[in-house]
Structure 1
């Protein structure tokens, strides 16, 4: 069995064990998805376990559990408000579960509409609705935690030892860009001085237009693992002018402000540097190269 297959099998075993420990009947568990997390349907229980397996070097289980608790709190609050999200499972306590070296979360199983074609423009337009729903979310959030400055800084340092993953010229450019952008990511005061009047509010944190689950009974927002306090532009970073225009249509319909071009340039730049930093994760997830290459080519051009 390969290391990746062993990791998936270990995550599956942890999910099944955690579910049974919590009183769920699990006899036919199956892996639904396996990339950054192993996602397991704990069948026949209507519960899905999400087990993160690919993590930046600075994220330990304690930090991961704190993030997961925040995600559970935010999604439970949104579900209680009637926002279409995949909610935490009501059959188990709303808390991360630690087992066998993993920290996992448990969610309500939702049947997928596998035949539905994804409409990214419609998704982007709907993100404004999610922002409207998140406006009054009472869960405490950190400023731009989704930018993961510790990951960025550490990854750029480690990549200096990996010329097989990135050229010296590309890494030098990335370091120069990060040196200029890092202060605005680490300091709310610096951000607000650079972008006066731009409201900071709860946002999804991880491209919600690409994280809408096509449920059999309707679309649901999903994967709030990086939920954060930031400008709405953070959620539209790197998606291009067409989807930005779609978002603006949705914002206008809901009485929200349109995207600020200056802030969007900032979030686009951070998003591209996160692509560079993700090269540091390739030893954990080699297939990630195929996802990163188009963005890397765009950055280079």
Structure 2
């Protein structure tokens, strides 16, 4: 968020928690992207604050967290002192979560695979209307095909991304027999090491697809420890994920920090991933 919007988001998070009877003397910005995560002290709440345009995603995240908590999934939980819902304040959607202080060393590949398998098992136990991962790919394809949305993307790179996205999506989704509900983006930034063990956060990205689509977001060594994983399929999913990542960076309104560097490196990462899994 831009500084002015960030100030309003911080104020909205603070005011929401205070109005619910939680003591807030200090606010620390934990993460700032299209939405922000705030640590509120001394009540030890993590407030997730998003512009009202993200209201649907915020509501999905809260509902997914509520259902997964009921089946013992390894996910960060909503704050039990307030109702499990999204609050609206000054055109922001605010949800309140238990704050977990990150602890310990980097999560080892075997432990990462174990927590992801447990998460997938929990996801199989809940019912949720979630889009297929190909819907996300279709959104990236629309951005690549729209010169007004991606005006600085060259013709050659536009054709390259379009062909990669379309080809890999069709190949990966050809057999949907093993599809299930997924986290959607279980990358290291969405898995925190806590005193309760590793916990997944950012639950609004749920989609359906093969478990390899999730595995492709994890460090490469993790797939070696995930029982029954198709390594070749994981490699194709990783190439697809990098192609989507690259497509988003070329949007005119993309706000990712250091976007210019990622525009250059993103395309190189797509090509490197394709070299590993062969032609589309």
Q: TM-score, normalised by structure 1?
A: 0.77
Q: Distance in 2 between matches of 1:144 and 1:48?
A: 28
Distance 1:218 1:241, change over 3 A: closer
CA change 1:227–1:241 in 2 (3 A) is same
Displacement after TM superposition at 1:87 (Å): 0.5
The superposition leaves residues 269-294 of structure 1 with CA deviations (integer Å, 9 ceiling, x where unpaired) of 42122112221277523324555654
Shift of 1:262: 5.7
Once the 2 structures are TM-superposed, how far is the Cα of residue 79 of structure 1 from its aligned partner?
2.0
Q: Is the 8 A contact 1:28 1:43 kept in 2?
A: yes
1:97 corresponds in structure 2 to 87
Secondary structure (helix, strand or coil) at the match of 1:43 reads: strand
- TM-score, normalization by structure 2: 0.82
**Does the Cα contact within 8 Å between 1:282 and 1:289 map onto a contact in 2?**
no
Cα distance in structure 1, aligned partners of 2:58 and 2:149: 31
Residues 281 and 96 of structure 1: CA distance in aligned 2, closer, same or farther (over 3 Å): farther
Residues matched between the structures, number: 271
Against the structure 1 CA distance between its residues 228 and 172, is the aligned structure 2 distance closer, same or farther, given a 3 Å change threshold?
Answer: same
Deviation at 1:22, TM superposition (A): 2.7
Gaps of 5+ in 2: 273-280
Instruction: Give the one of 109, 133, 143 matched to 2:99.
Output: 109
Please report how far the alpha carbon of residue 134 of structure 1 lies from its aligned counterpart in structure 2 after TM superposition.
1.5
- Root-mean-square deviation (CA, aligned residues, Å) is 3.0
Map of 2:275 onto structure 1 = none
CA offsets 1:162-198 (integer angstroms, 9 cap, x no match): 33xx43321221122234356679xxxxx3xx215x3
SS at match of 1:76: helix
Cα deviations by residue, 1:187-240 (Å, 9 ceiling, x for unpaired): xxxx3xx215x3221111102555211113422121112012221111012556
For residues 158 and 106 of structure 1, the distance between their equivalents in structure 2, rounded to whole angstroms, comes to 39
Aligned ranges for residues 82-231 of structure 1 at < 5 Å?
A: 82-113=72-103, 115-144=104-133, 147=136, 149-158=138-147, 161-163=150-152, 166-181=153-168, 191=173, 194-195=174-175, 198-208=177-187, 210-231=189-210
Aligned counterpart for 2:20 among listed residues 19, 22, 32? 22
* CA–CA separation in structure 1 for the residues paired with 2:180 and 2:50: 26
Q: Could you say if the C-alpha distance between residues 10 and 144 of structure 1 is closer, same or farther in structure 2, counting changes exceeding 3 Å?
A: same
